[in-house]
Structure 1
Amino acid sequence: MNRFLTLLAGALCSAAMAAGPGQYVDPFIGTSNFGATHPGAQYPHGLASVSPFNVAFGQPELNPFEKDDAWNSRVYIHENQFLTGFSHLNLSGVGCPEAGVMLLMPTRGELNLNPEEYGSTYSGERASPGYYSARLDKYDIQAEVTSTLRTGLSRFTFPAGQSHILLNLGLGLTNETGGSLEIVSEREIQGMRNIGTFCYHSENVRPVYFVARFSRAADDFGAWKKMPRYRNVEADWVGFNDKIKPYAGYRHPLSGDDIGAWFSFDTQKDEQIQVQLGISFTSIENARANLNAEQRGFDFASVRQSAVDAWDMLLGRAEIEGTRQQKTMFYTALYHSLLHPNIIQDVNGDYPLMGQHGTGNTKENRYSVYSLWDTHRNVHPLLSLLYPDIQTQMVRSAVAMAKESGWLPKWELYGMETQVMVGDPGTAMIADSYLRGIRDFDVDAAYEAMLRAASQTENNLLRPEIEEYLNLGYVPVDDEGPYDGSVATSLEYYVADYNIAQLAKALGKEEDYQTFSRRANNYRKLYDPATGMLRPKNRNGQWLSPFDPELGRNFEPAPGYIEGNAWNYRFYVPHDTPGLIQLSGGDEAFVEQLDATFDTGNFDMTNEPDITYPFLYNFVEGQAWRTTQRVHQLIDQYFGTGPDGLPGNDDTGTLSAWLAFSMMGLYPVTPGNTDYALFTPLLDSVTLHLNTQYYPGSRLVINKADTGSTEQHSDISFNERKLMRPFLDHKALVKGGEITFK
Structure 2
Amino acid sequence: MRKSLLLFVIAASPMFAQRDAVSYVNPLIGTEKSALGYGGTMPFVTPPFGMTNWTPQTRQNKISVTSYNYDDATVSGFIGTHQPAIWMGDYGYVTVVPQVGPLRIAANERAMPMRHENEKAQPDRYSVILSAGDHGNLRAELTATTRCAMFRFTFPSDITARVLVEASRPGVAGGAFLSPRAGEISGYNADRMDSHLGPMKLPNFKGYFVVQFETAPLKTETYGMEQTGDQASRGAYAEFAPGSSLLMRVGTSFLSVDQARENIRREIPGWDFETAAQRLRAAWNEKLSAIQVEGATDAEKSRLYTALYHALLYPRTFSEYGRYYSAFDDQIHTGESYTAFSIWDTFRAENSLLTLLVPERIDGMITALLQDFREGGWMPKWPNPSYTNIMIATHADSLVAEAFRKGFHGFDRELAWNAVYKDAMTPPDGDTARRWLDREEHTPYEARAGLTYYKQLGFIPTDTTDESASNTLEDSYDDWCVAQVARLTGREEDYQFFLHRSLNNRSLYNPAIGLMNGRKSDGTWAPLGSSEDTLENRSRAGWTEGDAWAYTWSALHDQAGLLALMGGAAAYDSKLDQHFSGGHNVHRNEPSHHYGYLYDFGGQPWKTQAMVRSIAAKEYAAGPGGLDGDDDCGQMSAWLLFTALGFYPVNPASGDYMIGSPLYARITLRLANGKQLQVEAENNSATNVYIQSATLNAKPLTVPLITWEQIQAGASLHFVMGPRPSTWASAWRAAPIVAKVSQ
User: Fold-level match, TM-score > 0.5?
Assistant: yes
Q: Which residue of 2 aligns with 1:210?
A: 209
Q: Which residue of 2 aligns with 1:624?
A: 605
Which residue, 680, 683, 701 being the options, matches 2:664?
683
Q: Which residue of 1 aligns with 2:193?
A: 197
Matched, 1:406 2:367: no
Q: Which residue of 2 aligns with 1:73?
A: 65
Which residue, 128, 131, 138 being the options, matches 2:125?
131
Displacement of 1:435 in angstroms is 0.5
> 2 CA distance for matches of 1:445 and 1:341?
21
Displacement of 1:264 in angstroms is 1.0
> 2 CA distance for matches of 1:54 and 1:284?
27
TM-score, with length taken from structure 1: 0.87
Matched, 1:53 2:57: yes
Call closer, same or farther: CA 1:437–1:202 in 2, change over 3 Å. Answer: closer
AA aligned opposite 1:146? T
2:29–2:623 CA contact under 8 A, matched in 1: yes
Where does 1:481-492 land on structure 2 (aligned, <5 Å)? 484-492=466-474
1:329–1:640 CA contact under 8 A, matched in 2: yes
Matched, 1:698 2:675: yes
Q: Which residue of 2 aligns with 1:61?
A: none
Matched, 1:440 2:440: no
Call closer, same or farther: CA 1:15–1:436 in 2, change over 3 Å. Answer: farther
> 2 CA distance for matches of 1:106 and 1:18?
36
Displacement of 1:710 in angstroms is 5.7
Call closer, same or farther: CA 1:403–1:13 in 2, change over 3 Å. Answer: farther
Call closer, same or farther: CA 1:100–1:629 in 2, change over 3 Å. Answer: farther
Q: Which residue of 1 aligns with 2:436?
A: none
Q: Secondary structure at the match of 2:531?
A: coil
Q: Which residue of 2 aligns with 1:336?
A: 310
Q: Secondary structure at the match of 2:302?
A: helix
Displacement of 1:93 in angstroms is 3.1
> 1 CA distance for matches of 2:484 and 2:648?
19
> 1 CA distance for matches of 2:684 and 2:519?
52
Which residue, 283, 289, 299 being the options, matches 2:262?
289
Q: Which residue of 2 aligns with 1:314?
A: 287
AA aligned opposite 2:47? Y
Q: Secondary structure at the match of 2:404?
A: helix
1:213–1:276 CA contact under 8 A, matched in 2: yes
TM-score, with length taken from structure 2: 0.87
1:680–1:714 CA contact under 8 A, matched in 2: no
AA aligned opposite 1:53? Q
Q: Which residue of 1 aligns with 2:490?
A: 508
Q: Secondary structure at the match of 1:41?
A: coil
Q: Which residue of 1 aligns with 2:734?
A: none
> 2 CA distance for matches of 1:15 and 1:196?
48
Matched, 1:576 2:576: no
Call closer, same or farther: CA 1:437–1:555 in 2, change over 3 Å. Answer: farther
Call closer, same or farther: CA 1:203–1:75 in 2, change over 3 Å. Answer: farther
Call closer, same or farther: CA 1:665–1:711 in 2, change over 3 Å. Answer: closer
Q: Secondary structure at the match of 1:164?
A: strand
Displacement of 1:138 in angstroms is 2.8
Any gaps of 5 or more consecutive residues in structure 2?
Answer: 1-11, 430-444, 721-743
Call closer, same or farther: CA 1:491–1:13 in 2, change over 3 Å. Answer: farther
Q: Which range is displaced more, 433-442 or 43-52?
A: 433-442
Which residue, 181, 184, 188 being the options, matches 2:179?
184
Call closer, same or farther: CA 1:710–1:335 in 2, change over 3 Å. Answer: closer
Where does 1:135-146 land on structure 2 (aligned, <5 Å)? 135-138=129-132, 140-146=137-143
Q: Which residue of 2 aligns with 1:224?
A: 223
Where does 1:298-697 land on structure 2 (aligned, <5 Å)? 298-321=271-294, 322-347=296-321, 349-362=322-335, 365-414=336-385, 416-457=386-427, 459=429, 461-480=446-465, 484-545=466-527, 547-552=528-533, 557-558=538-539, 559-621=541-603, 623-692=604-673
> 2 CA distance for matches of 1:200 and 1:368?
18
Call closer, same or farther: CA 1:275–1:315 in 2, change over 3 Å. Answer: same
> 1 CA distance for matches of 2:246 and 2:79?
17
> 2 CA distance for matches of 1:655 and 1:737?
26
AA aligned opposite 1:513? Y
Call closer, same or farther: CA 1:187–1:707 in 2, change over 3 Å. Answer: closer
Q: Secondary structure at the match of 1:88?
A: strand
1:383–1:391 CA contact under 8 A, matched in 2: yes
AA aligned opposite 2:395? P
> 1 CA distance for matches of 2:302 and 2:308?
10
Q: Which residue of 2 aligns with 1:243?
A: none
Q: In the TM superposition, what whole-angstrom CA distance separates every residue of 1:692-711 from its partner, at most 9, and x where no partner exists?
A: 2xxxx711111101189968
Displacement of 1:503 in angstroms is 2.2
Q: How many residues align?
A: 677
> 1 CA distance for matches of 2:152 and 2:341?
32
> 2 CA distance for matches of 1:650 and 1:711?
26
> 1 CA distance for matches of 2:690 and 2:651?
25
Q: Which residue of 2 aligns with 1:30?
A: 30
1:555–1:564 CA contact under 8 A, matched in 2: no
1:568–1:607 CA contact under 8 A, matched in 2: no
2:93–2:207 CA contact under 8 A, matched in 1: no
CA RMSD across the alignment: 2.4
Q: In the TM superposition, what whole-angstrom CA distance separates every residue of 1:116-152 from its partner, at most 9, and x where no partner exists?
A: 2221111211011121111111351000011001101
Q: Secondary structure at the match of 2:40?
A: coil
Q: Which residue of 2 aligns with 1:263?
A: 238
> 2 CA distance for matches of 1:543 and 1:406?
35
Q: Which residue of 1 aligns with 2:723?
A: none
1:47–1:89 CA contact under 8 A, matched in 2: no
Indicate the percent of aligned positions where both proteins have the same amino acid. Answer: 29
> 1 CA distance for matches of 2:635 and 2:176?
37
Q: Which range is displaced more, 549-558 or 90-99?
A: 549-558
